[in-house]
Amino acid sequence: MVRNHRLPPFHFIPYAFPPGFVIPFSIFNAGIVQQKIPMIKNNLAGIVFTSVIALFTFNACAQDHQQNQQKLSSLNAVSNTTTLLNNEEQLIPIKKLEQQNIASVALGFSFQTTFDSLLNKYTKVSPFSLDQYRGAPTLDALEDDLKYFNTVIISLPVAASADPRNMNFIRNVSKSKKVILTLFGETGSLIAFDELKTPLIWSMQNTDEAATIVPQVIFGGIAASGRLSNNYSMKYTSGKGFSTTVSRLKYTLPEDAGINSNNLREIDNIVNEALNAKAAPGMVVLVAKDGKVIFNKAYGNHTYGGLPERVTDIFDLASLTKTTATTPSVMRLVEQHKLNLDTNIGAYIPKARLTPMNPIMVREAMLHQAGFIPYIPFHDAVKTGDYSRDSSAAYPTKVADNYYVRKDYFKEVMWPKMLNAPIRTRGKYVYSDISMYVMKDIVERLSGEPLNDYVWENFYKPLGMQTAGFLPRNRFSKEQIVPTEQDNYFRKTLLEGYVHDQGAALAGGISGHAGLFASANDVAILYQMLLNRGSYGGTQYFQPETVDTFTKKQSEVSRRGLGFDRWDPDSSKRYPSELASPQTYGHTGYTGTCVWVDPAKGLVYVFLSNRVNPSVTEKLGNMRIRPRIQDAIYRAIAKGNL
| pLDDT per position as a tens digit, 579-613 | 999 999 999 999 999 999 999 999 999 999 999 99
Sequence-distant (6+) residues with CB within 8 A of 575 are 559, 567, 568, 627
Judge whether 298 and 313 are in contact, CB under 8 Å: yes
Judge whether 634 and 601 are in contact, CB under 8 Å: yes
- Residue 471: what pLDDT? 98
- The continuous run of DSSP H or E covering 474 comes out as none
- Residue 490: what pLDDT? 94
pLDDT 10s digits, 447-483 = 999 999 999 999 999 999 999 999 999 999 999 999 9
Question: CA-CA distance, 382 to 506, in Å (whole number)?
Answer: 9
Whole-angstrom distance between the N-terminal and C-terminal Cα of the chain?
49
Question: CA-CA distance, 188 to 416, in Å (whole number)?
Answer: 75
Strands (E), 79-134: 83-85, 102-106, 125-129
Question: CA-CA distance, 347 to 387, in Å (whole number)?
Answer: 34
Coil, strand, or helix at residue 336?
A: coil
Task: Tell me the sheet residues that pair with 565.
Answer: 586
Judge whether 419 and 355 are in contact, CB under 8 Å: yes
* Closest by Cα among 57, 497, 590, 607 to 312: 57
Helix, strand, coil in percent for the chain, rounding step 5: 35, 15, 50
* Closest by Cα among 546, 544, 549 to 533: 544
User: Which whole number is the average pLDDT over 245-270?
Assistant: 97
Report the amino acid identity of residue 587. H
User: Which whole number is the average pLDDT over 211-224?
Assistant: 98
CA 134 to each of CA 139, 181, 395: distance values in angstroms, whole numbers, following the listed order: 9, 21, 51
Domain locations along the chain: 64-248, 263-639
- Residue 642: what pLDDT? 65
Question: CA-CA distance, 106 to 112, in Å (whole number)?
Answer: 6
Return the CATH class of domain 263-639. Answer: alpha beta
When pLDDT is cut at 50, 70 and 90, the band that residue 6 belongs to is very low
Sequence-distant (6+) residues with CB within 8 A of 624 are 574
- Residue 39: what pLDDT? 33
When pLDDT is cut at 50, 70 and 90, the band that residue 29 belongs to is very low
Side-chain-side CA neighbours of residue 412 (13 Å) = 7
Question: CA-CA distance, 543 to 192, in Å (whole number)?
Answer: 45
* Closest by Cα among 499, 472, 471, 470 to 485: 499
pLDDT 10s digits, 349-378 = 999 999 999 999 999 999 999 999 998 999
| Helices (H), ranges, 220-281 | 265-276
Share the mean pLDDT of the chain: 90
Question: CA-CA distance, 501 to 4, in Å (whole number)?
Answer: 4
Examine the pLDDT at 223 and tell me if it is beyond 60: yes
Judge whether 228 and 238 are in contact, CB under 8 Å: yes
> Looking at the domain that runs over 64-248, which CATH code has it been given?
3.40.50.1700
pLDDT 10s digits, 499-544 = 999 999 999 999 999 999 999 999 999 999 999 999 999 999 999 9
pLDDT 10s digits, 225-248 = 999 999 999 999 999 999 999 999
Question: CA-CA distance, 628 to 625, in Å (whole number)?
Answer: 5
- The continuous run of DSSP H or E covering 114 comes out as helix 112-119
Whole-model pTM above 0.85? yes
